[in-house]
A and B are shown apart, each in its own frame.
Chain A
Amino acid sequence: MNALETVDLEKRFGGIVPTNSVSLRVREGARHALIGPNGAGKTTLINLLTGVLRPSKGKVKLGGGDITNLKPHQRVARGITRTFQINQLFADLSPLESIALVIGEREKQGARFWRAFGGDEAIAREAASLAQQFGLADVIGERTSSLPYGKQRQLEIALAIAGKPRVLLLDEPAAGVPEAERHEILETVAALPKDVTVLLIEHDMDIVFGFADRISVLVEGKLLVEGDPKEIQNDPRVRAVYLGEGAGD
């Protein structure tokens, strides 16, 4: 069963084709990594998956259902959430408020205007336990903008997880995190619930091979090859275009 699937997905901007008939299949419960050199079209693909962009052609399916024409927030409701390569947080809210907000939206309580925010004990409890889980308990009430970068990075993932996704897109989770705080993020990523399917977009090969059980390689908008880590590591084409070994470039 595929948790996430694209069929002949294509995006054109004028003459540029950043996504060129990509048919990606991510199995239920997989730890799938998407790698590729700079400019391979990884960001565009994520934006197509999450609905920020509309494809010129092709389909996006989530758990077998077609989500190609859904808006971003509708896709979240179907069970796909994401993190961002560059933090996209609510600077003026605290981690607690941010997480509680996500949970409230997930529980379809976000449009209630006559209830007190945080008045629902179940939501507050869940938010507190998520904050605990992501190492945010000690800064739970502080303004997000005042947190150290590593904590913000944790919050970035916590917000995506708080939506209880079936499929989670992780866009370079360790990007920019200082070496000292790196292991914390990697532990968090490794400890993600097993029933969540994860698609990891990553540059860092150590992270990819330490995490993924399946790898797809994207080059110039096209899927070059897909396989398990061993196959990818030994694939001459991947070595040529990506790992750079033996290739002139």
Chain B
Amino acid sequence: MSTADTFRQADAALKKKRAWHWLEYVFWLAVAATVFLFPSQHTLLTQIAIWSLFALSLDLLLGYAGIVSLGHAAYFGFGAYVAALFAINFTGEPLTVLLVAGIAAGLLGLVTSLLVLRGSDLTRLMVTLGIALVMYELANQMSWLTGGADGLTGMPVNPVFGVFPISFRPTNSYIYVLCVLFVLFVVARRIVHSPFGYSLRAIKGNPLRASSIGISTNRRLIAVYALGAAYAGVAGALLAQTTPVVSLTYIDFQRSADVLLMLIIGGTGYLYGGIVGSALFLIAQKFIGNVTPQYWEFWIGFALVVIALFARDRGVFSIIERVANALRKEKAKP
């Protein structure tokens, strides 16, 4: 094979990797169709879209950079509080609020990344958990600002671009949230397919080698941590805009654990995992939760154990694949 052939082959391989797969178009068309297909479920769908964005933000850290976090709700909650306070004190223009919340959460991520990125997985787990707990305590204690345990209400939400009202309109809210999710998804997709995105994969795959080919691992990790925090902040702001009250549950451990679980269910490292996972999680919660609301927790725990036992990167898809393989083998037997 000549060098020119090799180059053509290489170029084609690289282009194919970053091009949109036809399944992705189908996926997003299907998502858009939900607006018309399930008009009575828009409240649930809005929740799913917001959790999707939140899980996507965690995927940027975990799936691409290998940063384990047990306290990602810190940034979600911070974004939500910033959004509410900014809207109350300055303007309720929704996109401005999202931007401010994202930037604020990103800055918090930037500062806290210096604490998180030292040490091993275990230290990271503890430090992320600790940061979320500190944020929770702060929100709880600074009740003059945050409303404490009662939460923060009365956040104004203006129409988007002055013409598209979303306040107390489930369908419009859903369309709004979906648009934000899609735009931020496209941005994230572009970032993970950039040289920066590949350097993250390299750091995740082999940090020792990454630094010995000249990657400044710490800086890249700080950057992605801040990005993930900013995304989480926007997700928090979206929830604040579409629900009447911003409360401590935005920052609690349950939320950090739930988002991790959703991402793991859907699978890490391909951006769609968070969306699939949060849809499955919330729909299951609705059905199982309706039958035995108290013991939903049991089934979450069960799902975690099963997924940890059997699924690696691809969440439920790994399990489906395993079952399919087993069945195929079974059939192949005479």
Contact = CB atoms under 8 A, between A and B. Distances in A.
Contact of A77 (B18, B197, B214, B219): B214
B199 A91 contact: no
B221 to A, nearest CB: 12
**For B17, B196, B214, B223, which residue has the most chain A Cβ atoms within 10 angstroms?**
B214
A179 interface: no
A51 B13 CA distance: 35
Interface in B223-248: 223
Nearest to B313: A92
B198 interface: yes
Contacts of A97: 14, 17, 198
Contacts of A84: 208-209, 212
Contact of B217 (A73, A82, A94, A118): A73
Interface stretch (B2-10, B109-117, B133-141): B2-10
Given A100-B14, A114-B190, A129-B3, A163 B214 contact: yes
**For B191, B206, B210, B220, which residue has the most chain A Cβ atoms within 10 angstroms?**
B206
Contacts of B10: 96, 124, 127-128, 131, 140-141
B205 A90 contact: yes
A189 to B, nearest CB: 19
8 contacts: A88-B209, A88-B212, A109-B195, A118-B11, A118-B15, A124-B14, A132-B1, A140-B13
Interface SS of chain B: helix
Contacts of B195: 101, 104, 109-113, 115, 117
Interface magnitude class on chain B = 35 or more
A88 B13 contact: no
A110 B13 contact: no
A199 interface: no
Contact of B18 (A104, A117, A141): A117
Given A91-B205, A111-B199, 9 more contacts: A71-B211, A88-B212, A92-B201, A110-B195, A111-B219, A112-B195, A115-B194, A119-B14, A127-B10
A93 interface: yes
A118 B205 contact: no
Contacts of B9: 128, 137, 140-141
B183 interface: no
A94 B6 CA distance: 14
**For B201, B210, B211, which residue has the most chain A Cβ atoms within 10 angstroms?**
B211
